[in-house]
């Protein structure tokens, strides 16, 4: 279209040119201009709509179809920033390093809580007899917890305030990871809340986590307002909206991935600056987007894309269902442990349901090892039922 317009303008210009008495001499350059323009338009069209049938290809090349676009220089990729180049080499080397083999591998259970843990008694029963195969870390952001179980005594780490939705939540997760990484025997790092309970006995959970090389980080693409609607273009050029992901914060991570998170400054700083509730009229929740987006960009094949912690959003309220004493039955717990398909629903008007089988080393397995949210009053009933429901 543009070329045609230029051509017409050119004609007009020629007509009002004062030298019209030399008409026969003007005709020659006009034909040359026409020919050049025709060739240009033809080449542009051929570039935008590359020939698909092989007969058309031979117009351009006798060697076949692919070669036409091969003549043109490749579309340039974005030039990486200094920080990005540095991040990419560090991440690549961490991912390529073989894992450090520990003689006494342990699972780090990292509790993120405002204060005391109402289910310490249940966890005590869960840990009993498995000394040497786990370690406990508690980040209490508001009040110093009172511990009732020996497994939790002196396991509080230095903590700081946590504001819901803000980067301070991610900071608390990183603080827990850093503390737990100090023990070289810790191989898997599970993040839990004060309202979480175990769904299986220790051996089942230990083997589930230790016999796989992926991390369980929840991650899905939500084109709706509670997903991509929270993305900020200030995150460019490093984070594009096509890489923006969402997921529940409750992860279980292998050691290599915990190191990756420790090494990250680049992507973390983007979320620190541009992902917080109320910024630019958006309601970005840092802990729901930072890790899913980070792993999507750095090692998408290394994560399972679902969280090991079950929660019931079926009531479609602002908060998930909280189980009370009357809800706690053997049937409820068995229902949760029988789920072997993970489900994500987008927040746009389509409400698209994404279902993936929970594949553990290629085998479909129960998705959930933990569940929330349980109110403190349910402790006695759970203690009573535990040895019954937790046997796979
Ligand atoms: C996990 O291990 C399997 C088999 O050893 C290997 O094929 C796969 O690439 C590994 N995956 C990751 C994410 O390291
Ligand atoms: C998780 O999703 C990513 C794509 O976002 C995919 O590449 C990866 O293979 C998935 N992980 C598993 C274990 O299927
Ligand atoms: C357990 O699952 C069955 C089948 O989905 C359902 O009918 C039942 O109400 C559930 N029970 C509880 C206690 O959630
Ligand atoms: C667990 O409790 C349920 C219901 O109370 C009962 O039917 C079942 O036999 C018990 N299972 C075991 C393994 O004790």
DSSP state of 116: -
Question: Atom 13 in ligand 4: which residue has the minimum CA distance?
Answer: 388
Report how many domains make up the chain: 1
Distance 220 CA to ligand 2 centre (A): 9
Decide if pLDDT at 187 tops 60.
Answer: yes
Distance CA 392, CA 387 (A): 10
For the entire predicted model, the pTM comes to 0.80
Closest ligand to residue 384's CA:
4
- Coil, strand or helix: which one is 112? strand
Question: Atom 3 in ligand 3: which residue has the minimum CA distance?
Answer: 335
What would the two tokens of residue 236 be?
Answer: 């460019």
Q: According to the model, what pLDDT value does residue 33 have? A: 63
Q: According to the model, what pLDDT value does residue 12 have? A: 37
Residues with C-beta less than 6 Å from any ligand 3 atom: 329, 331-332, 335
The whole-number average pLDDT for the span 285-300 is: 96
**Is residue 387 a part of any domain in this protein?**
no
Residue with tokens 């959970």: 205
Distance CA 390, CA 330 (A): 10
Decide if pLDDT at 296 tops 90.
Answer: yes
| C-alpha closest to that of 245 among 272, 224, 216 | 224
Distances in whole angstroms, Cα of residue 158 to Cα of each of 139, 178, 193: 7, 11, 17
Q: Which domain holds residue 224?
A: 83-94+104-308
More confident of the two residues 280 and 54: 280
Distance CA 310, CA 30 (A): 74
- Coil, strand or helix: which one is 241? helix
Least confident of 1-5, 103-107, 126-130: 1-5
* Those residues with Cβ within 8 angstroms of residue 274's Cβ, 6 or more apart along the chain or in another chain: 232, 234, 235, 284
Question: Atom 12 in ligand 2: which residue has the minimum CA distance?
Answer: 304
**Is residue 202 a part of any domain in this protein?**
yes
**Is residue 146 a part of any domain in this protein?**
yes
Ligand 1: atom nearest CA of 301 is 13
Q: What is the SS3 string spanning 256-296?
A: HHHHHHHHCCHHHHHHHHHCCECHHHCECCHHHHHHHHHHH
pLDDT band for position 278 (cuts 50, 70, 90): confident
Distance CA 274, CA 333 (A): 39
More confident of the two residues 159 and 23: 159
Q: According to the model, what pLDDT value does residue 117 have? A: 96
Decide if pLDDT at 28 tops 90.
Answer: no
For residue 230, which phi and psi values (nearest 5 degrees)? -95, -5
**Is residue 40 a part of any domain in this protein?**
no
Write out pLDDT tens, residues 339-375: 999 999 999 998 999 999 999 999 999 999 999 999 9
Q: Side by side, which strands form the sheet with 106-113?
A: 134-140, 106-113, 186-193, 252-254, 215-218, 303-305
**Is residue 18 a part of any domain in this protein?**
no
Residues with C-beta less than 6 Å from any ligand 2 atom: 214, 296, 300-301, 303-305
**Is residue 343 a part of any domain in this protein?**
no
221: left (phi over 0), alpha (psi -120 to 50) or beta: beta
By most ligand atoms within 8 Å of CB, the mutation choice from 326, 328, 334, 335 for ligand 3 is 335
* Those residues with Cβ within 8 angstroms of residue 213's Cβ, 6 or more apart along the chain or in another chain: 99, 254, 302
Q: According to the model, what pLDDT value does residue 330 have? A: 93
Q: According to the model, what pLDDT value does residue 368 have? A: 97
Write out pLDDT tens, residues 36-86: 666 656 555 455 554 444 444 444 444 444 555 556 666 657 889 999 999
Distance 387 CA to ligand 4 centre (A): 10
**Is residue 353 a part of any domain in this protein?**
no
By most ligand atoms within 8 Å of CB, the mutation choice from 213, 296, 301, 355 for ligand 2 is 301
Decide if pLDDT at 1 tops 90.
Answer: no
Question: Atom 8 in ligand 1: which residue has the minimum CA distance?
Answer: 213
Decide if pLDDT at 269 tops 70.
Answer: yes
Distance CA 119, CA 107 (A): 19
Q: What's the CATH code of the domain at 162?
A: 3.90.550
**Is residue 276 a part of any domain in this protein?**
yes
Q: According to the model, what pLDDT value does residue 32 have? A: 64
Distance CA 175, CA 137 (A): 10
Q: Residue 136 belongs to what H/E stretch?
A: strand 134-140
Q: What is the CA radius of gyration of the chain?
A: 30
Mean model confidence pLDDT for the chain: 85
Question: Atom 8 in ligand 2: which residue has the minimum CA distance?
Answer: 301
Distance CA 81, CA 78 (A): 9
pLDDT band for position 318 (cuts 50, 70, 90): confident
């Amino acid at each position: 279209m543009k070329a045609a317009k230029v051509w017409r303008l050119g004609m007009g210009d020629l007509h009002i040119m004062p030298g019209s008495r030399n008409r026969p001499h003007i005709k020659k350059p006009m034909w040359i201009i026409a020919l050049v323009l025709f060739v240009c338009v033809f080449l542009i069209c051929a570039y935008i709509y590359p020939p698909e049938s092989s007969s058309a290809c031979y117009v351009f090349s006798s060697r076949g179809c692919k070669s036409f676009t091969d003549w043109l220089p490749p579309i340039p990729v974005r030039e990486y920033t200094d920080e990005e180049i540095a991040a990419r080499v560090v991440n690549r080397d961490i991912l390529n390093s073989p894992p450090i083999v520990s003689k006494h591998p342990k699972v780090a259970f990292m509790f993120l809580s405002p204060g005391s843990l109402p289910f310490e008694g249940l966890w005590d029963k869960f840990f009993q007899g498995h000394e040497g195969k786990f370690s406990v870390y508690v980040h209490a952001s508001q009040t110093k917890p009172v511990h009732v179980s020996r497994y939790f005594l002196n396991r509080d780490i230095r903590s700081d305030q946590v504001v819901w939705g803000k980067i301070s939540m991610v900071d608390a997760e990183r603080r827990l990871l850093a503390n737990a990484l100090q023990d070289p025997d810790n191989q898997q790092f599970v993040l839990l809340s004060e309202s979480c309970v175990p769904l299986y006995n220790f051996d089942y959970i230990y083997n589930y986590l230790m016999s796989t090389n992926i991390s369980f980080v929840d991650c899905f693409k939500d084109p709706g307002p509670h997903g991509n609607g929270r993305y900020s273009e200030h995150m460019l050029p490093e984070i594009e909206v096509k890489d923006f992901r969402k997921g529940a914060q409750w992860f279980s991570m292998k050691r290599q991935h915990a190191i990756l998170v420790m090494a990250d400054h680049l992507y973390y700083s983007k979320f620190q600056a541009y992902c917080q509730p109320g910024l630019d009229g958006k309601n970005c929740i840092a802990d729901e987007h930072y890790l899913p987006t980070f792993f999507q960009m750095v090692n998408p094949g290394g994560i399972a894309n679902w969280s090991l912690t079950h929660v019931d959003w079926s009531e479609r309220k602002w908060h998930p269902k909280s189980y009370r004493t009357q809800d706690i039955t053997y049937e409820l717990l068995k229902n949760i442990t029988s789920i072997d398909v993970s489900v994500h629903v987008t927040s746009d008007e389509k409400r698209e349901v994404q279902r993936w089988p929970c594949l553990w080393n290629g085998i479909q397995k129960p998705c959930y090892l933990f569940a929330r949210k349980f109110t403190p009053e349910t402790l006695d009933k759970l203690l009573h039922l535990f040895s019954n429901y937790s046997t796979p």
